[in-house]
Amino acid sequence: MASSPRRTVVCSVLPLLLLLAGAARAAGNFYQDVDITWGDGRGKILGGGDVLTLSLDRASGSGFQSKNQYLYGRFDMQIKLVPGDSAGTVATFYLSSQGSAHDEIDFEFLGNASGEPYTVHTNVYSQGKGGREQQFRMWFDPTADFHTYSVVWNPTHILFYVDGTPIREHRNREAATGVAYPRSQAMRVYASVWDAEEWATQGGRVRTDWSRAPFVASYKGFAASGCASQDAAACARSNGAWMYQELDATALDRLQWVQKNYMIYNYCTDTWRFKDGAPPECATK
């Protein structure tokens, strides 16, 4: 089982590379660690930098990005999602590079009408190609309190965790299948709350009730431990614990429990979408 998502892991590279490029420290204060990039005041840093809220109304949503960008690492965020009737809204926590051939690792939280559960939507893009969705319900109310959502990204695995429990594993099968894996483009950490009423809730059948705006999601406990060098070769030699992290037998059992009981969509088993067979990266061996 992976270590607790609240545990700080410090990235280091070979001593000379550490002197030349440095390694990202664990983050702890939103004033120091992120820039609010859009929303015209709808993003607010509170509590001396401990909490950041993002809000959405009919005019605009809001979002922020990390000051640092990373090539491999572990990224944790505690989030309390929009409570009540949040239909049509999406809150996010994700990593992304830039450009049309970008890489991206997504947590997206699709809002709901009152009394219906949130959908936790995950996706992985490589070289601009996504479409690798897995969706889950959670085993708790994600609006009642903060819960920790984590991504581990290293040369062989991308792992998604909720409160330290693995919910998804995406392996690097590039050598065997030719399907690109995110391994050369540095990514920033992003978060946002935005209007997706055209599709987010029951395929857009349930629209946003704007009388309930503003819709507010709260973020705290951002911790990023990763290689902040722009030298891919240097980052490939990082020795942070996340660099070698994978799922042991206990964690695999937990992953299978989540996927059996809480997964509601897996692109690898979508025979309507992939009539000629699942994409090659879905292979189990």
Catalytic residues: 104, 108
Three-class secondary structure assignment of the chain: CCCCCCCCCCCCCCHHHHHHCCCCCCCCCHHHHEEEEECCCCEEEEHHHCEEEEEECCCCCEEEEEEEEECCEEEEEEEECCCCCCCCEEEEEEEECCCCCCCEEEEEEECCCCCCCCEEEEEEEECCECCCCEEECCCCCCCCCCEEEEEEECCCEEEEEECCEEEEEEECCHHHHCCCCCCCCCEEEEEEEEECCCCCCHHHCCCCCHHHCCEEEEEEEEEEEECCCCCHHHHHCCCCHHHHCCCCHHHHHHHHHHHHHHEEEEHHHCCCCCCCCCCHHHCCC
